[in-house]
């Protein structure tokens, strides 16, 4: 299934042209509802057609522009493989679709910029992390995100303890009292190891740590260890990577698939990626309560701050929408109560420069917004 990462977002943000088309719709993985999605896309495409014509485009030209979407509507193979939502982006130069695990409300946007705001919910709390699944008999290394995982081939990563130490089975120390079973099959129990056994395991883990050094150097991504509890303290002793998580994924990882490892590891790193939002809300609440100029819930102030690269954190209600006109040179903005076909999407127009300048942007339910405002921002200066 499709992935959508920050580099995809950056590419979409840079698109700017007359008549950029953005369409969102819910989709279904199975059942009779699957057939509803292409019909819904057809109706939304017709809406896009009418709005482009209202903007002064000739209908034959509009129909030619929308051909990539029309082709997609009739692609039966495409509709057999869906997720919870579909995002469609069409500009004069590009046509992209993303099938994502996010329920989108049906919508059409025609603007100079693509509307990426609904996608920010998908990216919220996302980030790269690593998983080292290790036992005496096996070592695997994975790169993962909120929704995906892939195994990496690491040069010089030992396949197991014996290979790391250059031992054959006759030379390998037998782990007594069922230790071999406890270190190689699912177990959450503790086990006493001899000093010799611990020494061998530390040597094995040093080889792993050394193999990962080149990839992880200067990185800040969390590293989760998947192992039985007996091994985790020994790995921590030799680990040189400063972002090793304090909690391990307990139990032998040998029988776990990449998807199973991902599902078990994500709860361990989730808070690491959601903490910045909590801090942003706390900072806004404090500054706004002090009537500081470094926080605002006013559209006009936030809009021009975004275009001046002054926004540090931006929070928007998911259902917020505001159309109108603006002039960057004159520093004027007029929000419309009733949107007209020639009006600009003001929230998209401020979101793009905020994101491109490195601001953190969060889409929240209105009840979770600070001060109950549909828009809130913290400024850098």
* Ramachandran class of 230: left when φ > 0, alpha when ψ lies in -120 to 50, beta otherwise: alpha
Domain 129-271 has CATH 3.30.420: yes
Alpha carbon 61 to its chain centroid, in Å, reads: 36
Rounded Cα gap, residues 78 and 86, in angstroms: 11
pLDDT at res. 211 = 95
Distances (CA, A) of 128 to 148, 158, 270, 361: 10, 23, 11, 18
Every domain of the chain and the residues it spans: 1-123, 129-271, 293-381
Residues of the chain with pLDDT under 70: 1, 168-191
82: nearest Cα among 130, 38, 51:
38
The reply to whether 129-271 shares the fold of 1-123 is: no
Strand partners, 134: 139
Predicted confidence at residue 146, as pLDDT, reads 86
Residue 37, both tokens: 């999605």
CA 138 – CA 184 distance, rounded (Å)? 8
Q: Give the pLDDT score at 317.
A: 93
Q: What is the pLDDT of residue 379?
A: 98
- Helix, strand, or coil here: 16? strand
Residue 236: its pLDDT value, please?
Answer: 97
> CB of 162 within 8 A of CB of 198?
no
Q: Which CATH code fits 293-381?
A: 3.30.1330.30
pLDDT of residue 169: 59
Q: What pLDDT shows up at residue 126?
A: 78
**In this structure, what DSSP letter does residue 310 have?**
-
Strands (E), the chain: 16-26, 85-90, 95-100, 107-113, 129-135, 138-144, 149-151, 223-227, 249-250, 295-296, 311-317, 323-327, 332-335, 344-345, 360-364, 375-379
Chain segment 11-20, per-residue pLDDT in tens: 999 999 999 9
Comparing CA positions, the residue from 274, 236, 232 lying closest to residue 249 is: 232
- pLDDT of 180 reads 46
Q: Residue 124 has what pLDDT?
A: 79
For the domain with range 1-123, which CATH number is right: 3.30.960.10, 3.40.50.300, 3.30.365.10, 1.10.760.10?
3.30.960.10
């Amino acid at each position: 299934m499709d992935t959508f990462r920050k580099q995809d977002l950056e590419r979409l943000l840079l698109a700017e042209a007359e008549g950029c088309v953005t369409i969102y719709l819910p989709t279904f993985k199975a059942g009779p509802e699957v057939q509803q999605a292409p019909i819904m896309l057809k109706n939304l495409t017709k809406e896009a057609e009418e709005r482009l014509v209202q903007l002064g485009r000739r209908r034959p030209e509009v129909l030619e522009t929308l051909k990539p979407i029309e082709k997609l509507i009739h692609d039966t193979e495409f509709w057999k493989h869906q997720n919870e939502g579909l995002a469609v982006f069409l500009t004069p130069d590009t046509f992209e679709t993303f099938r994502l695990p996010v329920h989108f409300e049906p919508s059409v946007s025609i603007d100079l910029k693509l509307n990426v705001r609904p996608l920010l919910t998908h990216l919220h709390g996302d980030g790269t992390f690593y998983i080292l699944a290790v036992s005496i008999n096996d070592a695997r290394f994975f790169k993962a995100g909120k929704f995906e995982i892939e195994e990496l081939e690491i040069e010089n990563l030992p396949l197991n303890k014996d290979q790391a130490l250059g031992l054959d089975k006759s030379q390998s120390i037998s782990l007594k009292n069922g230790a071999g079973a406890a270190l190689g099959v699912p177990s959450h129990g503790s086990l006493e190891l001899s000093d010799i056994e611990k020494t061998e395991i530390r040597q094995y883990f040093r080889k792993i740590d050394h193999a990962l050094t080149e990839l992880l150097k200067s990185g800040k991504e969390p590293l989760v260890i998947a192992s039985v509890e007996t091994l985790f303290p020994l790995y921590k002793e030799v680990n040189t990577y400063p972002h090793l998580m304090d909690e391990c994924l307990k139990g032998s990882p040998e029988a776990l698939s990449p998807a199973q490892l991902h599902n078990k590891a994500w709860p361990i790193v989730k808070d690491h990626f959601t903490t910045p939002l909590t801090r942003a809300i706390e900072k806004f609440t404090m500054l706004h309560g002090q009537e500081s100029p470094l926080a605002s819930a006013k559209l006009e102030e936030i809009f021009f701050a975004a275009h001046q690269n002054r926004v540090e954190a931006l929070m928007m209600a998911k259902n917020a929408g505001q159309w109108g006109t603006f002039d960057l040179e004159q520093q004027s903005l007029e929000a419309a109560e009733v949107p007209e076909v020639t009006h600009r999407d003001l929230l998209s127009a401020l979101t793009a420069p905020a994101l491109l300048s490195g601001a953190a942007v969060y889409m929240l339910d209105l009840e979770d917004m600070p001060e109950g405002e549909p828009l809130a921002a913290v400024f850098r200066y």
